[in-house]
Structure 1
Amino acid sequence: MPRLALYTFGVLKFPLADPAPLTREFYGIGAAVYPEISGQPGYLGHAEAADGRQGVLFGADWGAWGEFAVPDWYGKGRTPETTALAATLSLWTGPRPAFDAVYTGVHREALSRRYDWFERTGHPTHVLWWVPDDATPTWQDGVSRLEHLHAHGAAPHAFTFQDVL
């Protein structure tokens, strides 16, 4: 049975290395979100860098999830000091478990603060697609599907929660 991949992407107002209070709040909520989401029914896994360092995305070893990639519209830094983005790539048993995890609990609270942390880019912030049981989605898969969603709208290979629920 196929699994559902979920890629999220947002451009932050500040670099991840910024020591300002907003950055600390963002990391603090993020530290609570991942353990909660990973315990949700239907959760199968998410991309994690092998070294696990915060703020290091480009050049990290992501294993089967592939080389880290970002959409063309991301125009900020790519070094640990200048990177200003948040991206996730995860696997789920289906859209309802993924939706429920994203829109409940600590993550829902974080979503209520998104405009404190993220720029409004006019681009979609998430995309979903089905993957075979034996495949691991890659960062580039997520980027290409998000860019397709932005340019052409929903399709069977790139859609949103609104399209399937």
Structure 2
Amino acid sequence: MPRLALYTFGVLKSPLAEPAPLTREFYDVGEAVYRKISRHPGHLAHAEAADGDRGTLFGADWGAWGEFAVPAWYSKGRTRETTALAATLSLWTGLRPAFDAVYTGVHRDALNRRYDWFERTEQPNHVFWWVPDDVTPTWRDGVFRLEHLHGHGSAPHAFTFHHPFAPDGTPTRNEDIGPKSDQVP
């Protein structure tokens, strides 16, 4: 059964190494979100550096997730002291569990604060695509698909919650993954 890959990318207002209160708050909130989402029904796995060093993205050993990569529009630093981005790469059982994880609980609270931490851009901040059971998506896959989404819009190999596709490539109504009656996105 195919699995759903999700790549997210955002440019932070300040470098990760900056000791400013908002940067520390982003780290604290981010750790809580990761803990909660990793236990969410439908979450299968997410990319983690082998050494577990949250301050190192470029040059870290990401194992089967491949070499860390970012979209061409990222123009800030790439060293531990200057990196100003947040990116995730994860696997899900389907769109509904991913939607529920993103738009409920601590992640929803964090989304409501995103402009405290992230720059506003015209580029998309997430992309989905389906992968076979035996495939681990790579950072480069995510970047390629996010850039494709930005340049060409949703397609079966690069889509969003707003314009989703089923594993067979057919468009899926976003009502099928939208909020349940007790949720408000």
Provide the TM-score with structure 1 as the length reference: 0.99
Q: RCO (CA 8 Å, sep 6+): is it higher in 1 or 2?
A: 1
Task: State the distance in 2 between where 1:14 and 1:35 align.
Answer: 24
Give the match for residue 11 of structure 1: 11
Residue 76 of structure 2 is aligned to residue 76 of structure 1: yes
What is the CA-CA distance between 1:27 and the residue it aligns to? 0.4
Aligned to 1:64, what secondary structure does the other structure show? helix
Aligned pairs for 1:7-156 (under 5 A) are: 7-156=7-156
Gaps of 5+ in 1: none
Q: Which amino acid aligns with 2:23?
A: T
Corresponding pairs, count: 165
**What is the alpha-carbon distance in structure 2 between the residues aligned to residue 23 and residue 39 of structure 1?**
25
1:162 positional shift: 1.1
Describe the superposition over 1:69-123 as per-residue Cα deviations: whole angstroms up to 9, x where unpaired: 0000000000000000000000000011011101111110100110010001110
CA distance in 1, matches of 2:100, 2:66: 27
Deviation, structure 1 residue 23: 0.4
Alignment-mate amino acid for residue 13 of structure 1: K
In structure 2, distance between residues paired with 1:23 and 1:157? 34
Bigger mean CA offset, 145-154 vs 48-57 = 48-57
SS at the partner of 1:162? coil
Aligned position for 2:160: 160
SS of 1:163's equivalent in the other structure is coil
The one-letter code of the counterpart of 1:10 is: G
Identity between Structure 1 and Structure 2 (%): 80
**Amino acid across the alignment from 1:131:** V
Residues 21-58 of structure 1, C-alpha deviations (whole Å, 9 max, x = no match): 00010001011001100111111000000011122100
Stretches of structure 2 that go unaligned for 5 or more consecutive residues are 165-173, 175-185
